[in-house]
Amino acid sequence: MNKTIRRASVFTLLLVFALLIRATWLQFYDGKALAEDNDNRRNVIQTYSQPLGNIIVAGKPVTGSARTKGGDLAYKRTYTDGPLYAAVTGYASQAYAPTQLEGIYQDLLNGTDNRLKNVLDTVTGKRAGPGDVLTTIDPAVQKAGYEALGGKKGGAVAIDPKTGKILAVVSTPSYDPSTLTDANTAGSAWKRLTHDKDKPLTNRALRQPLPPGSTFKLVVAAAALEDGLYDNVNQHTDSPDPYTAPDTTVPLTNENKSAPCKNASIRVALQYSCNNVFGKMAVDLGQDKVRAMAEKFGFDDDKQDVPVRAYASVYPSGMDKAQTALSGIGQFDVTATPLQMALVSAAIVNDGELLSPHMVSRITDGNGSVLKDYGDDTDTKRIVSSRTAAQLRSAMETVVKDGTGTNALIDGVTVGGKTGTAQHGENNSKTPYAWFTSYGKSGGKEVAVAVMVEQSDAARSEVSGNGLAAPVARAMMKAALKG
């Protein structure tokens, strides 16, 4: 073979190898990327080629699937009591990415989760039957919160302190996920919902951190008792009324001018929600000690998955003493979600221990076999001592019996709580936020509930944690403890 032919043969062989490498790359790398591309229509066709698995509440599905009347998508998602459970389920849409539990368990619900496949499915690449998601939601508690919030803009969370199970996740105003499921009609619904000034797509229970106001005083009180700044909730504090923080000339005053807040004990200060006491207490402790206690309760955790990821509640850093005083009453840059404030009450009523919150109990395959039981993964964390928790419970029960939280009273139930009315806008120019965090105990059962009302039809003078939020918490606690 002469040199020219040999060189041509080598070059031709190199071209063949290049084509083989390119084909292999396309099939095993680019092919996978193309198959997983969100814009690949074939993925949507496959997802909706069969009914989806269901999200279950108290043994009954609150989701379903219905045959479509035409086109290449055979099925679409349906919802039972869609607005009631929207903050739990989210939506599965032919046009938009799924949210909430629909999004987290998308692969399980559409049958592509590898845990659903048997050996034959793995070999053949056949799509398995879909699985189901079983929630911890109590329909009675969910409905009680949803109806009690009514036309108000707000959020609420209820938790079983003994297990960490989330019994209710309520956000109002809500929306009907069914309006977003069909690709042919979803566009107009999406435009309407995203342009609505009340933001119904926002999950206010988990993803709307706002200033918690005086409900945060429980965290400051916990820090003071754990640190030894005060020995018990009945010891008088060193608290002038009004209190002027260092480096400022503006005094920290109290809403109730006649309340006995001067040098008040922690019990009395919680009972009358004395700003002077907790503003000074935060300064005396220092922001680092307050932050350490807040973080034990869950503040500043940007990976709080329940399993939907909640937005982080925040205790700020780098404050001066005047700002630290404001943080002690849940103002300045302190923010919290209803979930976070429910966790505060849950730890207090559970003798100082906090179980990791979760709203999914287990996931199963199409035959009901358990793929994962989330009750097995529940962690328990000591937040405060048993003694501190008992002291705080005693004071919170005084708030409900004889203080600012009387609207949460329930016959035959031990109720503890803390109200909050958080300033909103420059110089408190906008309607304040109304808060209530609480717990109820009866017949061996316990529940912790936190409610935030962002906006209501009430006159500004009538906006308070006791007036707007406590009745919602009361309705949810009654539903959880009935029988």
**According to the model, what pLDDT value does residue 34 have?**
47
Which of 65, 93, 178, 214 does the annotation list as catalytic?
214
What is the rounded average pLDDT for all residues in the chain? Answer: 91
Catalytic, 171? Answer no
Is residue 381, in this structure, part of any structural domain at all?
A: yes
Structural contact between residues 141 and 168, judged by C-beta atoms closer than 8 angstroms: yes
Is residue 222, in this structure, part of any structural domain at all?
A: yes
Structural contact between residues 89 and 184, judged by C-beta atoms closer than 8 angstroms: no
Residues 183 and 316 in one domain: no
Of 166, 195, 224, the position where a domain reaches its end is 195
CA 163/CA 350 separation, integer angstroms: 10
In the block, tokens 């368990």 appear at 105
Give pLDDT tens digits for 102-131: 999 999 999 999 898 775 665 556 678 899
Residues 186 and 218 in one domain: no
Q: Average pLDDT, stretch 191-201?
A: 96
Nearest CA to 332 among 377, 255, 278? 278
* Residue count (the chain): 483
Residues 113 and 224 in one domain: no
Residues 326 and 429 in one domain: yes
CA 408/CA 440 separation, integer angstroms: 9
CATH number, domain with residue 74: 3.90.1310.10
Is residue 22, in this structure, part of any structural domain at all?
A: no
> Regarding predicted confidence, which is higher, 35 or 410?
410
- Whether the predicted pLDDT of 178 surpasses 60: yes
The pTM of the full predicted model, rounded to 2 decimals, is 0.90
Residues 281 and 184 in one domain: no
Residues 241 and 318 in one domain: yes
Structural contact between residues 453 and 153, judged by C-beta atoms closer than 8 angstroms: yes
Give pLDDT tens digits for 218-274: 999 999 999 999 999 999 999 999 999 999 999 999 989 999 999 999 999 999 999
Q: Which domain holds residue 109?
A: 43-135+175-195
Residues 342 and 394 in one domain: yes
Structural contact between residues 99 and 88, judged by C-beta atoms closer than 8 angstroms: no
Residues 237 and 340 in one domain: yes
Is residue 148, in this structure, part of any structural domain at all?
A: no
Residues 186 and 227 in one domain: no
Residues 115 and 226 in one domain: no
CA 109/CA 101 separation, integer angstroms: 10
**According to the model, what pLDDT value does residue 97 have?**
94
- The total of structural domains in the chain comes to 2
Residues 189 and 217 in one domain: no
**According to the model, what pLDDT value does residue 483 have?**
57
CATH number, domain with residue 461: 3.40.710.10
Give pLDDT tens digits for 441-468: 999 999 999 999 998 767 655 779 999 9
Residues 219 and 180 in one domain: no
